[in-house]
Homo-oligomer: A and B are copies of this chain.
Amino acid sequence: MAVKATLKELAGVTGGRVIGDGNAVITGVAPVEEARTGDITFITGAKHLKGLAAAKASAVIVKDGEYDAPGVNLLLVKNPRIAFGKVTDIFKPAYVPPPGVHPRAEVHPGARIGAGASVGAFVVIENGAVIGERAVIHPGVYIGLNAQVGPDSTLYSGVAVREGCVIGSRVIIHCNSVVGSDGFGYEFDEGRHNKLPQRGIVRIEDEVELGACVTVDRAAIGETVIGRGTKIDNLVQIAHNVRIGANCIIVAQVGVAGSTVIGNGVVIGGQAGLVGHIRIGDGVMIGAQTGVSGDLASGVWSGSPAIPHTEWLRASSVFARLPELKKRIAELERLVAELKEKK
């Protein structure tokens, strides 16, 4: 099953143009430092120019207009990373299980499975659930009562989508993530935490990706929403009634508490935490490990509690010198007392 293509053919696939030998035969992809004859690789940024000269690859994808031909075959494209991704899809295609429902899946007769969908072994699909066309439900997934998964979405093994939750089209959810677990809501009364019903849903819009072991809680009433094109990394916690806008990036182990509203294009670094019931404006950037306890309208934020990122950088650089500053204050107090006395 070895795949071969000429550089010219790859130019067609990527919408690029060739400088050098368009008939060069490409048989694989590799990072620049590991590429050998037959491989195509890519570089971005001037810092890799040296690597380019030394490259043993049969062709290199570069940004059109950024490089001269240095004696190797070049494929000039608008965006080298995306072009390299397209080429990777050719030489290392993704694993996709065959369509059809595995005889060892447990699909309720009242569920609907779209044409071309794949349902693996030991999957459970409850009554009223709908699986879209060409969706891929890997082994061991659980789809609850009346839940929906849109066309061309992929749910990897062990994912749980609980009752009533709605997953859009072209969504990807990685292994063992949970969509629609109960929100964390109690009312303390008569000496105990009384569980409040969590009967809303989670709605995940088109082209969202959730990493592995992500947890998204269902709303108490209404919806928890992950907006179109938002990408969420592994082990992230999204609490009940949170609403996240479109095209956000949420890095691993972030936690977002209940009812917080996040705008479009927000970037949240790893292990950051947001308290509940706040609003984060479009385009806000939140650094790793930041603790956000109030609304943020715009800007870049870091620290716990969060302050503007540049202030945080400056203050952090002074932090280590606190013991020295304390000594200098004490010395000043001594000197000033002395001066006062002498007067």
Point out residues on A near B: beta carbons under 8 Å. 29-31, 34, 78-79, 81-82, 84-85, 88-89, 92, 94-95, 102, 104, 106, 120-122, 124, 138-140, 142, 144-145, 156-158, 160, 162-163, 172, 174-176, 178, 181-182, 184, 186-187, 189, 191-197, 199, 207, 209, 211-213, 215, 217, 221-222, 229, 231, 233-235, 237, 239, 247, 249, 251-253, 255, 257, 270-271, 273, 275, 288-289, 291, 293, 303-305, 307, 311-312, 314-323, 325-326, 328-329, 332-333, 335-336, 339-340, 342-343
Contact = CB atoms under 8 A, between A and B. Distances in A.
B193 A229 contact: yes
Contacts of A92: 197, 199, 221
Contact of A211 (B88, B139, B184, B234): B184
A120 B160 CA distance: 14
A163 B93 CA distance: 12
Contact of A213 (B172, B178, B317, B318): B178
A16 to B, nearest CB: 14
B192 A207 contact: yes
A261 B236 CA distance: 23
B187 A81 contact: yes
Given A162-B175, A195-B209, 6 more contacts: A78-B189, A106-B122, A176-B176, A192-B207, A253-B255, A332-B336
A304 to B, nearest CB: 5
B197 A85 contact: yes
Contacts of A138: 142
A201 to B, nearest CB: 11
B234 A253 contact: no
A323 B321 CA distance: 11
Contact of A329 (B139, B328, B342, B343): B328
A29 B235 CA distance: 33
A199 to B, nearest CB: 4
A222 B88 CA distance: 12
A181 B175 contact: yes
- Of all A-B residue pairs in the complex, the 7 with the closest CB atoms, nearest first, are A318-B322, A92-B199, A142-B157, A181-B212, A215-B234, A178-B212, A160-B175
Of A29, A215, A231, A273, most B-chain CB atoms within 10 Å: A215
Nearest to A275: B288
A260 to B, nearest CB: 12
A233 B94 CA distance: 30
B122 A140 contact: yes
Contacts of A95: 144-145, 163
14 contacts: A85-B197, A94-B199, A156-B162, A174-B178, A184-B234, A191-B247, A255-B270, A275-B288, A307-B319, A315-B319, A317-B323, A319-B322, A325-B326, A339-B343
A88 B199 contact: yes
Contact of A88 (B89, B142, B221, B252): B221
A122 B121 CA distance: 8
